[in-house]
Structure 1
Amino acid sequence: MATVFADAHDPDTPTIEAAASSVAGKVAVPEAESATEKKPNPAVSKAVAFAKGLIAPTLGILGFLALWAVLAPQVDTSLGALPGPVEVFEQGIALTEEWSAAKEAEGQFYADQDARNASAIASGNPGGVREFSYAGPPTFLDQIFTSLKTVALGFILATLVAVPIGLAAGLSPKFNAAINPLIQIMKPVSPLAWLPIVTMVISAMITSADPLLPKAFVISALVVMLCSLWPTLINTAVGTASIDKDLLAVGRVLKLGTFAKLTKLVLPASLPYIFTGMRLSLGVGWMVLIAAEMLAQNPGLGKFVWDEFQNGSSQSLARIMFAVVVIGFIGFGLDRIMMSLQGLVSKNRTI
């Protein structure tokens, strides 16, 4: 009996154990797989977040364009109805085509000139060789580049003036107290007030018939400088004054010279403030530039807007509005560039 019981019981034991292990395996494997499936993909998450972030701005832009298209025909001006988005876009295409045609005319001009000079040399008349520069009117894209060069020069001059003065003001409370009233008085002065003064000074200084830089270009750049240096100066002074005093004490203990203290302690600690001021200064300079170019007749975007206003054709208003859109996009792009540089400097600073 015992033998029979044992024989009947032994075959069942591995069967039960195998079934238990099989069931455990079936339960455990899906749990591991489900844990793997629930883990989010970082790239997908970033793409989804980016797409969601674009929804609101896109809806805002589309709503603005729709409102513009509906209300524009209802506004009558001396040049006709206010142009809508479609008319403005068409004038943008027309300005691009004008630039392409002007480039073709310029290329043909130089090709004809080279052919004439080659023919003069071949006929034994080297004295007949003449080199002339193309004197066609600037196109819209040419005026964009002129404005960018003008604001770049004014911004660089403003930075070169503002940063040293701001560092000195931040390091010396007495110097800061001395120049603070001047800053508060000069900072709100309009570019329209600076322009006559700068024009008279530059006209007295530049008397050459063929100067290195055009007089209108220099006048516009200096007006940009005078109006845009204040944010950089103030932020540099604030950043320098807020440096940890223990850090300056370490410099004194190490007996660092003035130049070493500036380059190794003060500048690295103040860079985020300096770049914040430079970002604000560039924005101010870009706004000031258009008014300066209008009055100084520097061949940039400001002069384009003024010439179209004086022209008074049926397309002038649409062209002016297209220029306004371009000015806004360029200003936005310049701000993004400075913001990226600011983030890069803040990330890589050593103090």
Structure 2
Amino acid sequence: MDKVLVTGGAGFIGSHFVKRILQADDVAQVTVLDALTYAGHTENLGEAFLNPKLTFVHGNIVDADLVDQLVQNHTAVVHFAAESHVDRSFSTAGTFLTTNVLGTQTLANAAMRHGVQRFVHVSTDEVYGPLLEGAATEDDPLRPTVPYAASKAASDLVALSYYRTYDVPVCVTRSSNNYGPRQHPEKIVPLFVTRLLRGQPVSLHDRGQHVRNWLHVEDNCAAIELVLRGGVPGEIYNIGGGTDMTSKELTGKLLRLCDADWDSVAYIPDRLSNDLRYALDWSKIADLGYEPVRDFEAGLAETVAWYQSHPDWWTPLTRNSAATCPRVNLDTAQEPQHV
């Protein structure tokens, strides 16, 4: 692979991937391009900055000149950079379309011009929309229900169009819900953990019956590396974690780990277009050798322990949450929540 450009490499999943790929003997250089929005922090890369292979560039994926300059010096692109919070997409859909769709097109266009050898576009199970039963395969139609998911579905199609039209070696990954250390506290696991650790209540939409599949971030990064190395250009790969549960079941586990009880939980009206259930069939990527190895119970306990021991990382983010996470639900008691 030689030289890898990672967009969004200072974000949650991206930073875990950067640390992983830096360990590869056949990777000579890793360049991170990140706009450092509210969810991206150089602190997420931490000790990775000690590695001489790593170069960091502060910039935006819609900056065509910058993107062109960077892509021409790399043999592979792994594209994490995206606006990713459902609630935010309700009030700032234009930003999501600009970053997720136009940004992807800008990268793919540069990859076409400079003949990159691999291009991995990282996406989400939310593009398939809700499934009341069964599990989505890579051949299923896209039925996104919210602006965030729609912008990711559109970006998937843009990326794949560059394979079909220009033969850019694009692969798309679609993962289920990730969890792990250094996730911004707008997402449900760190949101609930950081509130419970401060003795504050948490809120469950409806009766907490929304079902999600949970995937440790390190398992997702392992799968993405498999696709980077052995994925077939033009193909899509679902990445699941094998642990399905309702948000109420997840909350019960977090309460126990944070030494809290159900008196800390309030039930509130459901948010706009909150899909009841997502589910992925990930048998296709198993053919590349993927198998999730992180036990959910142990991984969740380790994640909670990380937040317990790193209040200096997440406390400033929670102080700024009112400014960075718009509340669009008419129920003023609702806390922002993304699953």
> Would the TM-score normalized by the shorter structure come out above 0.5?
no
Structure 1 length normalisation: TM-score?
Answer: 0.20
Structure 2 length normalisation: TM-score?
Answer: 0.20
Q: Which has the higher helix share?
A: 1
Q: Which has the higher strand share?
A: 2
